[in-house]
Amino acid sequence: LHSKDNGAGAEEVPVPRSPAAPRKVALVTGITGQDGSYLTELLLSKGYQVHGLVRRSSNFNTQRLDHIYQDPHATRTAGHYMRLHYADLADASSLRRALDHILPDEVYNLAAQSHVAVSYEVPDYTADVVATGALRLLEAVRLSSKPMRYYQAGSSEMFGSTPPPQSETTPFHPRSPYAAAKVAAHWYTVNYREAYGMFACNGVLFNHESPRRGENFVTRKITRAVGRIKLGLQKKLFLGNLSAGRDWGFAGDYVEAMWLMLQQDKPGDYVVATEECHTVEEFLEAAFGYAGLDWMDHVVIDNKYFRPVEVDRLQGDATKSRRELGWNPKVGFQQLVHMMVDNDIELASKEKVLVDAGYRDPKQQP
């Protein structure tokens, strides 16, 4: 995928549509992110043709899709049914053009500046992409010549300081520019559903992680450090608040809930959660313990990782998703931690080969 370009570019190769068995067509924003890659795998496995919107970056940003992508000139296997197009949630015309060209049946809006702490550094940009970006996409869907089902990636961060358990009827009290922007996107989605009768759903997803999680979210930051410490590439791990509690599930399970929402007879809003809460400290214990290490020998508290205001405890009540979608998480907390640690020990062992051969400086931490 990286040899010539990143696969984006809608007009170069016509999209094949099999006359024998017409495929459902999905458009995914944020396809290069953690959830985008799992959702793409799920949709391809269900026979969809998947179109992803990719933003321009100076480095390739399609690593999470490399295993799926196939050169359309070379083969007609499942990967051939994934196509990438340049667009940006900050650019309404690019969204409109993509929708008009692709005419999807389902639109999944996963794109976001998704880091809570970073949203304090770039609040204006975060609002533009997360809130107004969703509005731009909803408007493009509304103006399209074809009815489309729309999924909005909402977040448990919207509950902020409202105490658990949090369900669809719990009031929002956002605690960051990111969370406030997600609340706006949530209500834009409700408004377009009520005003225009659009099939638009909000998934209010609690934290979900995986070996593909971005490396500056706390779970992956911990499991990357465990791998590197185990292999002798790193000694210390600098973290902020260890007492925050989160309801952590597996991303692969959560994308199934997204898809299920768009297969219902009526649109609605759904909380998706494991209903279990663990603190950052418990995650540390589980991850370091699994690797035979003691986190207290390695973790150093650094004030720079504390947020101006914290979300203390998130724990979802997913009764509605269980009842109406028939959705249940398959991967539990310990299994999730082990999956991530196993992956990151393997990754660190590959890094070590490069370090030992002098191709990489061990001080280069993720």
Q: Which DSSP string corresponds to 132-146?
A: IHHHHHHHHHHHSSS
Contact between 155 and ligand GDR by CB under 6 A: the answer reads yes
Q: Which amino acid makes up residue 240?
A: G
Residues 151-170 that bind ligand NDP (CB under 6 A): 153, 155
CB 221, CB 215: distance < 8 Å: yes
Contact between 216 and ligand GDR by CB under 6 A: the answer reads yes
Contact between 255 and ligand NDP by CB under 6 A: the answer reads no
CA angle 219, 220, 223 (to 5 degrees): 90
Query: How many residues contact ligand GDR, by CB under 6 A?
Result: 22
Residues annotated as catalytic (active site), given as ranges: 155, 157, 178
Report how far residue 5's alpha carbon sits from residue 69's, in angstroms, rounded to the nearest whole number.
Answer: 12
Which tokens go with 117? Answer: 């702490």
Binding flags for ligand GDR, 133-152, as an x/- string (CB under 6 A)? --------------------
Report how far residue 205's alpha carbon sits from residue 255's, in angstroms, rounded to the nearest whole number.
Answer: 10
Q: Which is nearer to ligand NDP, 89 or 231 (CB)?
A: 89
Nearest C-alpha neighbor of 335 from the set 285, 278, 290, 284: 290
- What crossing angle do the helices spanning 280-290 and 333-356 adopt, rounded to 10°? 60
Binding flags for ligand NDP, 192-221, as an x/- string (CB under 6 A)? -------------x-xx-----x-------
Contact between 305 and ligand GDR by CB under 6 A: the answer reads yes
Which tokens go with 103? Answer: 């005419």
CA angle 354, 359, 360 (to 5 degrees): 75
What's the closest the beta carbon of residue 153 comes to ligand NDP, in angstroms?
A: 3
Q: Which of 96, 136, 193, 221 binds ligand GDR (CB under 6 A)?
A: 221
Query: How many residues contact ligand NDP, by CB under 6 A?
Result: 26
Q: Which of 68, 84, 102, 111 binds ligand NDP (CB under 6 A)?
A: 111
Q: Which does 340 bind (CB under 5 to 8 A by kind): ligand NDP, ligand GDR, none?
A: none
Q: Which is nearer to ligand NDP, 85 or 149 (CB)?
A: 85
Residues 14-73 that bind ligand NDP (CB under 6 A): 29-30, 32-36, 53, 55, 57, 61
Residues 16-75 that bind ligand GDR (CB under 6 A): none
Contact between 336 and ligand NDP by CB under 6 A: the answer reads no
Q: Which is nearer to ligand GDR, 106 or 157 (CB)?
A: 157
Q: Which is nearer to ligand GDR, 114 or 152 (CB)?
A: 114
Which tokens go with 238? Answer: 């600098």
Count of alpha carbons within 13 angstroms of residue 139, beta-carbon side: 14
Q: Which of 35, 88, 157, 351 binds ligand GDR (CB under 6 A)?
A: 157
Q: Which does 30 bind (CB under 5 to 8 A by kind): ligand GDR, ligand NDP, none?
A: ligand NDP
Which tokens go with 208? Answer: 């979900």
Report how far residue 37's alpha carbon sits from residue 169's, in angstroms, rounded to the nearest whole number.
Answer: 30
Contacts of 353 (CB under 8 A, 6+ apart): none
Report how far residue 30's alpha carbon sits from residue 40's, in angstroms, rounded to the nearest whole number.
Answer: 11
Stretch that binds ligand GDR, among 1-9, 44-52, 256-264, 303-311 (CB under 6 A): 303-311
**H or E segment and range at residue 32:** none
Local structure of 229: helix, strand or coil: helix
Q: Which is nearer to ligand NDP, 15 or 118 (CB)?
A: 118
Report how far residue 314's alpha carbon sits from residue 328's, in angstroms, rounded to the nearest whole number.
Answer: 18
Contact between 88 and ligand NDP by CB under 6 A: the answer reads yes
Contacts of 116 (CB under 8 A, 6+ apart): 157, 176, 178, 179, 307, 311
Q: Interface residues with ligand NDP (CB under 6 A)? A: 29-30, 32-36, 53, 55, 57, 61, 88-90, 110-114, 129, 153, 155, 205, 207-208, 214
Q: Interface residues with ligand GDR (CB under 6 A)? A: 114, 116-117, 155-157, 206-207, 216-219, 221, 239-241, 244, 246, 280, 305, 307, 310
